[in-house]
Structure 1
């Protein structure tokens, strides 16, 4: 599990690239998750713009136009 400084370093590295970027293709590759992705997850995000990339504790938050917020955990092991 990454420590807080590593998560912040990743956020700072991704922020200039992702903020303002358009999501061209979204793939949900893990159908076996305990909490599956919502219906039409990929369709609903494709073509949207990332408005902000933040961090809450050890999670990255990707804010997308029209309101969705993706919560990402680096999950290293």
Structure 2
């Protein structure tokens, strides 16, 4: 698992490119990676604004 400073560095790098945009589609490659995603997660996230 990455350390918090590393996660923050990635967040700052991505923010200017994705903030304010909408999630159109995405793929859950490993839905069981840490905790199972709740039922309907993909449907709820589709169209959400970042």
What TM-score, normalized by structure 1, do the two folds share?
0.51
Separation (CA, whole Å) in 1 of partners of 2:10 and 2:47 = 24
- Segments of structure 2 that go 5 or more residues without pairing to the other structure are none
Greater strand share, structure number: 1
- Displacement over 4 Å in runs of 4+: none
Aligned residues: 50
Greater helix share, structure number: 2
Separation (CA, whole Å) in 1 of partners of 2:2 and 2:39 = 30
Separation (CA, whole Å) in 2 of partners of 1:28 and 1:47 = 16
The question of whether the paired residues in 2 share the 8 Å contact of 1:28 and 1:37 is answered with no
Separation (CA, whole Å) in 1 of partners of 2:8 and 2:31 = 29
More RCO (CA 8 Å, sep 6+): 2
Q: How does 1:1-77 map to 2 (within 5 A)?
A: 1-50=1-50
